[in-house]
Structure 1
Amino acid sequence: MRLSRSLVPTLKETPAEAQIASHRLMLRAGLVRQTSAGIYAWLPAGWRVLQNITQIVREEQDASGAQELLMPTIQSAELWRQSGRYDAYGPEMLRIRDRHDREMLYGPTNEEMITDIFRQSVRSYRELPQNLYHIQWKFRDEVRPRFGVMRGREFLMKDAYSFDLDYEGAVISYRKMMLAYMRTFQRLGVKAIPMVADTGPIGGNLSHEFIILAPTGESQVYYDGAFEQIDPTSGDFSFDSPEDLARFYETLTTPYAATDEKHDTAAWANVADKREGRGIEVGHIFYFGTKYSGPMGLTVAGPDGKTLTPHMGSYGIGVSRLVGAIIEASHDDAGIIWPDSVAPWKAAILNLKAGDAACEAICEEAYTRLDGQALYDDREDRAGVKFADADLMGHPWQIVVGPRAAAAGRVELKRRATGERAEVTLSDALARIA
């Protein structure tokens, strides 16, 4: 994209309503604009980040064996009455009536709907296990939305739901999803620690939150410093091997890690390398057995012909929240520092002298060869403005084209994360970016 023709409305001043770094930077870098309390429009640069995160999440879900579908945002209240959650969920649920006076709701989650779909479609134990997911906008009417997309009312969520014949199978599904999550967060360029967590309104007796450490996080967390030495995705783990999954699970869950709600002071006393701080929840997984399948009458025929009630789990990743969480974990005083995998563009091309023939030629060549992966700052602004905006927006690479270097057929290449600069040929620059 050419910046002179793009909707990338950067701001010099910090909006007064922005309290944390990610909110400030998302507004200043032109990623989002608020339309009402806790609801944001995603502008082109922000949408590209959201799509990059979504694609990584999708690829890892697919690799784990989960199947993608898409469920409606509007759900029938009757389904939630069958599970017993309609009255229990609380005012965060947006309840509505259609023109025929039928009670409906804007779904905050999909346990009831996926259970209904499954009970209409699956009859035999031979059709288990299965795991289904979708990536969908959801709504929770937060009493006090704040911190931008970190605590908004409308948000993009990946939620998956597993169905197994028994507890042992459900545990394997749970561990598969934990592995998929750790691979996902590694590809997103963030370190997320799985912590024993409260199950909340979802229910169940086994749950982990995935926490990115950040001073502005809403959760108080406690963890063993041994986590700093663990790379849980470096081993030769297989989604299809229960033995591999068990070893992987033990690797992750042996060191102490818990949110404030599940903090065990007695166990904490035995931790040698105590760490505590604040964290941002970006994922949450649950095993809840027959909590939904039982009340909603989901059964299958077992091997002996008797009916069995499948065991279920659910698994969420806050896709839009991840945009804010990544920024909280990766920024400096100048702006965002995007991991390469999620950046809206791989590079910014900065033409320091618009109209100069050599500068124009090199910039156009770079723009063509990067094939949609560069934002070309072709504005007739001062160099300082272009440098400031490039740092603010956090492009992993900057190709700086000035008249002196351009005359010699060279460019300056800057790495945003380290500040490292080098004068190289354009081909060398493009090779490093690739």
Structure 2
Amino acid sequence: MRISRLVTRTLRDDPPEAETASHRLMLRAGLIQQVAAGIYAYLPLAWRSLRKVEQIVREEMDAAGSQELRMPALQPMELWEQTGRAAAFGDNMFSLEDRRGRPLALAPTHEEVVTNIVKGNVQSYRDLPVILYQMQTKFRDEPRPRAGLVRVREFTMKDAYSFDAGDAGLDASYQAMAQAYRNVFRRCSIPVVMAEADSGAIGGKDSHEFLLPTDTGEDTVITCPSCGYAANAEKASGVYPDQPIPEPLPLEEVSTPGMKTIASLCEFLGVDEAQTLKAVFYAADGEVVFVTIRGDLDVNEIKLKNALHCNELRLAEDEEIASAGLVAGSASAIGITNVRRVADPSISSGGNFVVGANKNDTHYRNANYPRDFVADLVTDIALTKPGHLCAQCSTPLTATRGVEVGHIFKLGTFFSETLGAYFLDSEGEQQPITMGCYGIGVSRILAAAIEQNHDDRGIIFPAPIAPYDVHLVALNMADEAVAEAAVDLYDRLWAAGIEVLFDDRTDAAAGVKFNDADLIGLPVRLVVSPRNLRQSAVEMRGRTSEEAEMVAVDDVVEAVRGTLQPA
């Protein structure tokens, strides 16, 4: 491809809306163009890279025994209502009606449709196992699109679905997919952490995320530097500092004028946060829920949502709190009976706690569970933090920011039972098919690879996913010898199977061409110039090399091929 014909435009300055390195560089290098919030066009350079990412994913999925198919993005909403996931996805799902008023969904994922496909094609245990996958556009109405291709409303995803005759088969399929994912990310030069994760609206029991560690990531990964435990903060479990359990003292009311926060209360009374219990009010599907947790801990809202089995969870509004007869800033579960009460087990770690007295500017000292208050549900809802101890080896945990690039789930039999996908086992008995699902954000891989591979000059494309192998720069194209030599080299490289982006512009200065080459970041740069040709040579430089080398014109093809070969 000649740059003079390429549909793209590089930018000298950083776009003001860019939040991350990948977003900034993809806009500057002319890889993507924003159409609307969270909606991007992939320009030719990005599209070539995406096709290479897709091919790597396809090769690894095929090697793992999967079969590719294609399912519709447009789906009947009744399928989603049948599984209850229309409510689970809520406003994140794009919905519409056809001309006859029938509700439809733009699919964020394809469990329902693929289950029906297998239902119509699998009858016996002899037909299993099966793994089906596709490369497809997905739609999610993200409330806050950000960071270029990291959080968007339309994106390319590889989604796969396994169908097995039982849990043992699912375990085997799950491990095969996990290894395929490791292979994909290794080939794309993306170092990932495989971390335990929450299943969210997808459902299922076990799930793992593959995360690229980066300071600009949306997710927090809790890791153990000793035993290797890793989990998304939404899922992570740790051991928080325990507190001694003192001899219970009588409940005592104290005046706390203006003390509405744990920090101000502790300073006023001269106590540690761990000697208090905080009250947090949530609305779970519209119902006010009273949550109690030790004052030095925070509520993990994902754990709480899972414990409550609700579709929507949010902090309660002031009006909702008041209508439930609760006093914000001075509340406790003592004497509360008219709302659902949920507590973390930390309420039993310690004692003689400071809690609200359910009237303004007043608290109690020496509150103890269950002597003074009770809960309808006591379950782990605490957010694990760095410094908490690993539950497996007692080493202090650490935290890393990351971007999710893949997610795998053990779905079990929920979808097959709900949608009637059964098989006959070896005894002739009907059994529900056991399922798993496996997603890779193909377009997000491109952003993650750039996030991981760049410097202050621009992108450093990993060779397997670079849009082209070589950036050929011709200096002074008006010189007939330069033009002839550059075109000849361009043709010879393509004939040898080496993909070339040829900067043949006649109106661009040498500095502009070199800056664009560094910005786009192809693996190898070749320079044809009058000075080089006087030596019958071409200048060759790897994108990460500090020094260039002179290569004889006749040896360039072999030299480039050697540079592109993996180490």
The two structures have a TM-score, normalised by structure 1, of: 0.91
> CA–CA distance in 1 between the matches of 2:406 and 2:546?
31
Q: Higher mean Cα deviation, 185-194 or 161-170?
A: 185-194
What aligned pairs does 1:299-378 form with structure 2 within 5 A after superposition? 299-371=422-494, 373-378=499-504
Go from structure 1 to structure 2 and tell me whether the alpha carbon gap of 1:278 and 1:426 turns closer, same or farther (over 3 Å shift).
farther
> CA–CA distance in 2 between the matches of 1:136 and 1:24?
26
Say which SS state the counterpart of residue 171 (structure 2) adopts. helix
Shift of 1:225: 4.7
Cα pair 1:358 1:407 within 8 Å, conserved: no
Match of 2:390 in 1: 268
Go from structure 1 to structure 2 and tell me whether the alpha carbon gap of 1:192 and 1:432 turns closer, same or farther (over 3 Å shift).
farther
Say which SS state the counterpart of residue 4 (structure 1) adopts. coil
Match of 2:108 in 1: 108
1:124 is aligned to 2:109: no
Deviations 1:156-196 (A, max 9, x none): 00000000000010000000000101111111111112111
1:400 is aligned to 2:527: yes
What aligned pairs does 1:206-355 form with structure 2 within 5 A after superposition? 206-225=206-225, 255-266=228-239, 268=390, 270=393, 275-355=398-478
Match of 1:236 in 2: none
Q: Residue type of the partner of 1:425?
A: A
Cα pair 2:472 2:501 within 8 Å, conserved: yes
Match of 1:386 in 2: 513
Higher helix share: 1
What aligned pairs does 1:23-42 form with structure 2 within 5 A after superposition? 23-42=23-42
Cα pair 2:390 2:396 within 8 Å, conserved: no
Say which SS state the counterpart of residue 446 (structure 2) adopts. helix
Shift of 1:355: 2.1
Shift of 1:53: 0.4
Runs of 4+ with deviation above 4 angstroms: 271-275
Q: Residue type of the partner of 1:89?
A: F
Go from structure 1 to structure 2 and tell me whether the alpha carbon gap of 1:197 and 1:403 turns closer, same or farther (over 3 Å shift).
same
> CA–CA distance in 2 between the matches of 1:404 and 1:373?
25
Cα pair 2:461 2:523 within 8 Å, conserved: yes
Say which SS state the counterpart of residue 427 (structure 2) adopts. coil
Match of 1:181 in 2: 181
Cα pair 1:256 1:271 within 8 Å, conserved: no
Go from structure 1 to structure 2 and tell me whether the alpha carbon gap of 1:392 and 1:88 turns closer, same or farther (over 3 Å shift).
same
Q: 2:551 aligns with which of 424, 427, 431?
A: 424
Q: Higher mean Cα deviation, 256-265 or 423-432?
A: 423-432
> CA–CA distance in 2 between the matches of 1:255 and 1:429?
46
Give me the identity figure in percent: 46
Gapped regions of structure 2 (runs ≥ 5): 240-388, 562-567
Shift of 1:32: 0.8
Larger radius of gyration, structure 1 or 2? Answer: 2
> CA–CA distance in 1 between the matches of 2:545 and 2:396?
30
RMSD of equivalent CA atoms? 1.5
Shift of 1:302: 1.0
Match of 1:238 in 2: none
Say which SS state the counterpart of residue 155 (structure 1) adopts. strand
Shift of 1:263: 2.0
Shift of 1:370: 2.0
Say which SS state the counterpart of residue 465 (structure 2) adopts. coil
Gapped regions of structure 1 (runs ≥ 5): 227-253
> CA–CA distance in 1 between the matches of 2:543 and 2:7?
22
Match of 2:257 in 1: none
Go from structure 1 to structure 2 and tell me whether the alpha carbon gap of 1:150 and 1:315 turns closer, same or farther (over 3 Å shift).
same
Deviations 1:112-160 (A, max 9, x none): 0000111111111110000000000010000111111110100000000
Match of 1:85 in 2: 85
Q: Higher mean Cα deviation, 374-383 or 81-90?
A: 81-90
Cα pair 2:551 2:559 within 8 Å, conserved: no
Shift of 1:405: 1.3
> CA–CA distance in 1 between the matches of 2:493 and 2:23?
30
Shift of 1:273: 8.9
Q: Residue type of the partner of 1:385?
A: V
Q: Higher mean Cα deviation, 14-23 or 193-202?
A: 14-23
Cα pair 2:208 2:407 within 8 Å, conserved: yes
Go from structure 1 to structure 2 and tell me whether the alpha carbon gap of 1:216 and 1:356 turns closer, same or farther (over 3 Å shift).
same
> CA–CA distance in 2 between the matches of 1:282 and 1:375?
28
Cα pair 1:71 1:134 within 8 Å, conserved: yes
What aligned pairs does 1:38-53 form with structure 2 within 5 A after superposition? 38-53=38-53
Shift of 1:207: 0.6
Q: Residue type of the partner of 1:350?
A: V
How many residue pairs end up in the alignment?
Answer: 407
> CA–CA distance in 1 between the matches of 2:223 and 2:99?
51
Say which SS state the counterpart of residue 489 (structure 2) adopts. helix
Cα pair 1:224 1:271 within 8 Å, conserved: no
Shift of 1:12: 1.1
> CA–CA distance in 2 between the matches of 1:272 and 1:407?
65
Q: Residue type of the partner of 1:67?
A: Q
